[in-house]
Amino acid sequence: MPEDYLDTLTFSHELYDQTPRAMAFQASTKTVAEDWQVKLRAKLIELLGGFPSEKCDLHPRVVETTEFPTYTRETILFQSRPNMTVFGYLLLPKKFETPGPAILCLHGHGRGVDDIVGIQEDGTMRTEYGGYQNDFALQCVNHGYATLAIEQFGFGHRRDEAARKQGNGNSSCQPSAGAAFLLGQTMVGWRVYDAMRSLDYLDTRSEIDMNRIGVMGISGGGTTTFFSAAIDERFKVAVTSGYFNTFHDSILSISHCIDNYIPGVLKYAEMYDIAGLIAPRALFVESGTQDTIFPINATRFAFDCAKEIFQVFDAADKLGLEIFEAAHSFYGVGAFQFLDQIL
């Protein structure tokens, strides 16, 4: 009797092993590595579905200003595409030397951007950091950074009507990501473009030093953070929490929301190769030992591979890692020390 092949994951792993990564990092000199970056970045943009050939006007608006003891929160809107509005909050420390550094904050799955700026479901403010994301945008402003926290496509204020009717914790992430695939695009690409337009918005603000911009996110926000920094060199530093891993051990092997998927990416590169697009700019990775969707051993392996790439760029000191004892959550200890050094 021939052996039965009934395990779909075994099948996927075998295909992974048989699929060469055509643009995997192989350079031994900085000059060759820089040429590799140009080619892989162009391929990655193509795989994401591409970006609009022309930027629309931002039409930025501040629709509400709220004063807190140590910072001001502006509720803002701007256009990232002609038919798509970005909702967000700009948090400005009251003791802020202008122009100063800013962090773009990208939330993960959940209620959306309100859940990283301390706003509870009833509209009141939390009195201490909470949830798996630990209000990391508030942590940024409390560390003295101007902070732009935007609603990711498909969550909170940017959902379809069906998700709105189901309550605050429901998103339209999954159907929207599927729609992107049907159109030959990706949710990762849509969200990265919002991040890029967020930089354009920050550039309109006289308070911000555009040479000192970072991006930070956890989980699905870590995804957007990672690919935004890989593509847009205006980001000087990226902090990815609960995301950086290998495609093989996480996205390919464990059930994830389809907003994580980029068709064809494994024909060209693994996640640690893409991390090389950030070098010699800075990247900090944090991950919990009990994270069940981004296995810690794969995070360590991917980090070691990325470090070899950063070393070719003479930038090993621009790559940081913190492992902490917890599940899938934002930690933010070494991350802020790293940000202070870079920005």
Q: How far apart are CA 341 and CA 329, in angstroms?
A: 23
Residue 212: phi, psi to the nearest 5?
-135, 65
Nearest to 52 by CA among 197, 151, 155, 172: 197
CA angle 132, 129, 90 (to 5 degrees): 95
CA distances from 337 to 22, 244, 300, 322, 340 (A): 36, 19, 20, 11, 5
Q: Where are the domains of the chain?
A: 21-342
Q: How far apart are CA 278 and CA 230, in angstroms?
A: 5
> What is the full per-residue pLDDT of the chain (343 aa) written as tens digits?
467 789 999 999 999 999 999 999 999 999 999 999 999 999 999 999 999 999 999 999 999 999 999 999 999 999 999 999 999 999 999 999 999 999 999 999 999 999 999 999 999 999 999 999 999 999 999 999 999 999 999 998 988 888 788 877 788 888 999 999 999 999 999 999 999 999 999 999 999 999 999 999 999 999 999 999 999 999 999 999 999 999 999 999 999 999 999 999 999 999 999 999 999 999 999 999 999 999 999 999 999 999 999 999 999 999 999 999 999 999 999 999 999 999 9
Read off the pTM: 0.97
In CATH terms, is domain 21-342 a member of 3.40.50.1820? yes
Q: Is the dihedral of CA 194, 196, 199, 204 positive or negative?
A: negative
Q: For the packed helices 187-202 and 173-182, what is the interaxial angle rounded to 10 degrees?
A: 100
Nearest to 283 by CA among 243, 330, 331: 243
Q: How far apart are CA 8 and CA 13, in angstroms?
A: 9
Residue with tokens 């038919």: 83
Q: How far apart are CA 33 and CA 259, in angstroms?
A: 29
